[in-house]
Amino acid sequence: MVRLRKPLPPYTLKTPEGGKVYLPDLKGRPLALLEDEALAQSLAAREAELEALGAQAYLLAQAPRPSPLPLLLDPEGALLGAIPEGGVLVADAFLEVYHLGPIRDEEEVLEWLRFVEAQCPECVLPEADWL
């Protein structure tokens, strides 16, 4: 189950060519998973900004289709079912989910990616230590 402020579950997705992508292998860079093709098109047009952030973005689908972003297939819909219509999943480089919900446009996706990139997990005390 996908939850905010929790690590992304270790799902295995597929590529249109039949390869497998194990989500934990995507650690190391901020991640955006989209289910909306129009939003993916807008975000793909800002590829230079994604690269400058060191971020990765993918369009999720249940079956192969043309995609402006790299396409990951979720045939069973396990991960797709967690992302609301018109929504996006944004995770940090450790795959902790920071946003899972509606998004107004590609600029908001980039804002979330900037936010998670600026986080410093080593700089923050666990809540129990400062409450």
Q: What is the pLDDT of residues 97-124, one digit of tens each?
A: 999 999 999 999 999 999 999 887 665 5
- Please state the pTM of the whole predicted model: 0.90
pLDDT band at 130, cuts 50/70/90?
very low
**Can you tell me the mean pLDDT for 50-71?**
96
Q: Where are the alpha helices (DSSP H) in the chain?
A: 37-44, 47-53, 106-118, 127-130
Q: Is residue 37 over pLDDT 80?
A: yes
Mean pLDDT of the chain: 91
Query: Per-residue pLDDT tens for 68-92?
Result: 999 999 999 999 999 998 899 999 9
Give residue 119's pLDDT.
84
Give residue 94's pLDDT.
94
| 55: nearest Cα among 122, 127, 130, 110 | 110
Q: Is residue 125 over pLDDT 70?
A: no
Q: Is the distance from CB of 63 to CB of 90 less than 8 angstroms?
A: no
**Can you tell me the mean pLDDT for 37-50?**
96
Tell me the percentage of the chain whose pLDDT exceeds 90.
86
Degrees to nearest 5, angle at CA 45 with 40 and 48: 115
Which residue's entry shows tokens 């018109």? 86
